[in-house]
């Protein structure tokens, strides 16, 4: 396990006397795909950073062997913690030191009322980074006109608290660097570090 201040998922971190974490938090990708800046999203709430800083992932969709629409995707926890909020299309995991990470599957998907999403956890459940949280069917959503980007947001993060954002840029809103399509990630690959 990393020593305090060297990364980690929140479970092994230290705290100051006032309860504030002294451990950096590595936030992993919940899905495979390509990282894009929040500013590139067609949703002004996420694109403008109103929800918080972070990045989004354009999910990789693999074809099914039978030639049907893309296979279902398993979404994993980005950090260790407790499931604080759980909707079919979104969830929040809160670490032991109180930092909350939002994962939102697609844009406008609340209107699906759960169709195309299967949860594997319940609210209040302790989870580990990389643990399956739910399964979704992005091709079915795309066929209905939904944008599939997956924002990963550090809720209530202070300005400058996120490092190593992929792609580079302040609060994930910068250019995609040398690769205009974004950087490839697999589930669990680091997206950014939330500094203590």
Q: Give 103-142 pLDDT, tens digit per residue.
A: 998 887 777 676 778 899 999 999 999 999 999 888 877 8
Question: Structure tokens of 79?
Answer: 């950090």
N-term to C-term CA, the chain:
17
47 or 1, which is more confident: 47
Question: Structure tokens of 113?
Answer: 């009322």
- pLDDT interval class at 7 (50, 70, 90): very low
Residue 144 is predicted with a pLDDT of: 78
Query: pTM of the entire structure?
Result: 0.80
* Nearest C-alpha neighbor of 188 from the set 8, 26, 1, 29: 29
Of 19-23, 58-62, 124-128, 192-196, minimum mean pLDDT range: 19-23
Which residues, at least 6 apart from 154, have a Cβ–Cβ distance to it below 8 Å?
A: 27, 52, 53, 54, 99, 100, 101, 161, 162, 192, 194
The residues that are catalytic are: 104
Mean pLDDT of 29-37: 93
Percent of the chain residues topping a pLDDT of 70: 75
Residue 42 is predicted with a pLDDT of: 86
Residues 70, 134, 63: CA angle, nearest 5 degrees? 10
Average pLDDT, the chain: 79
- pLDDT interval class at 143 (50, 70, 90): confident
Domains and CATH numbers, the chain: 28-188 (2.70.70.10)
Mean pLDDT of 14-38: 78
For residues 179, 181, 187, 189, the Cα torsion angle rounded to the nearest 10 degrees is 20
């Amino acid at each position: 396990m990393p020593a305090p201040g060297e990364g980690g998922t929140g479970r092994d971190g230290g705290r100051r006397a006032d309860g504030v974490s002294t451990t950096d938090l590595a936030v992993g990708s919940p899905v495979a795909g390509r990282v894009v800046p929040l500013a590139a999203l067609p949703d002004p709430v996420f694109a403008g950073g109103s929800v918080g800083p972070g990045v989004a992932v354009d999910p990789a969709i693999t074809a099914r062997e039978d030639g049907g629409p893309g296979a279902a995707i398993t979404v994993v926890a980005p950090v260790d913690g407790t499931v604080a909020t759980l909707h079919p299309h979104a969830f929040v995991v809160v670490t032991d030191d109180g930092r909350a990470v939002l994962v939102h599957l697609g844009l406008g998907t609340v209107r699906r009322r759960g169709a195309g999403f299967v949860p594997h956890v319940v609210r209040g459940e302790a989870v580990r980074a990389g643990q399956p949280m739910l399964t979704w069917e992005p091709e079915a959503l795309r066929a209905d006109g939904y944008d599939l980007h997956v924002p990963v947001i550090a809720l209530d993060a202070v300005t400058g608290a996120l490092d190593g954002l992929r792609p580079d840029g302040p609060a994930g809103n910068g250019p995609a660097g040398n690769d205009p399509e974004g950087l490839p990630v697999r589930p669990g690959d680091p997206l950014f570090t939330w500094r203590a």
